[in-house]
Amino acid sequence: MRIACVRIPSFTVAVERRANPQLEEQPLVVYDRGGVVDASPEATGIQRGLPLRQAKALCPGAVFVAANVSLYRDVAEAMLDAIEEVSPQVEEAEAGAAYADVGGLEGHYENEFALAGSLIETIRQA
């Protein structure tokens, strides 16, 4: 059995930037009532779990966006559906991450890089 791990780093940040392209390359912090959920690399010093007040003090130039859980769920479901176009056996690890059984797909792709490229392109189009 061969398993591929598909993971979108900083998933909530990636979803917010896809929904709002003007946020690209800006320091971005996604938060909920408990504090910081995720932050872009540009939001220097901000980590998950940090209280919102502290995050705003550390990175006052950041854009702060309230978490949109239903949007993240929808995008995660679309990602899983897209991966299932390549491999019918997919298991979600967490929102933005999944495992796919790619055993037996060797004949469909020139090599593992081609398979990975197909997975990436399929997810981008989702």
CATH topology of domain 11-68: MutS, DNA mismatch repair protein, domain I (3.40.1170)
CA dihedral of residues 103, 113, 124, 35 (deg, nearest 10) = 80
- Split at pLDDT 50, 70, 90, the class of 17 is very high
The helix/strand count (H/E) of the chain reads as 4, 6
How far CA 35 is from CA of 48, 56, 64, 84, in Å, comes to 8, 11, 11, 34
Q: Give strand pairing partners of 63.
A: 28
Q: pLDDT band at residue 83, thresholds of 50, 70 and 90? A: very high
The pTM of the full predicted model, rounded to 2 decimals, is 0.86
Grouping H, G, I as helix, E, B as strand and the rest as coil, residue 103 is: coil
Mean pLDDT of the chain: 93
| 15 CB-contact burial (10 Å; exposed 0-12 / middle 13-18 / buried 19+) | buried
Q: What is the band of 31 on the pLDDT scale with cuts at 50, 70, 90?
A: very high
How far is residue 119's CA from residue 4's CA, in Å, rounded to a whole number? 10
Task: Please state the domain extents for the chain.
Answer: 3-8+70-125, 11-68
Environment class of residue 1 by beta-carbon count within 10 Å: exposed (0-12), middle (13-18) or buried (19+)? exposed
What's the CA gap between 92 and 33, in Å, rounded?
Answer: 25
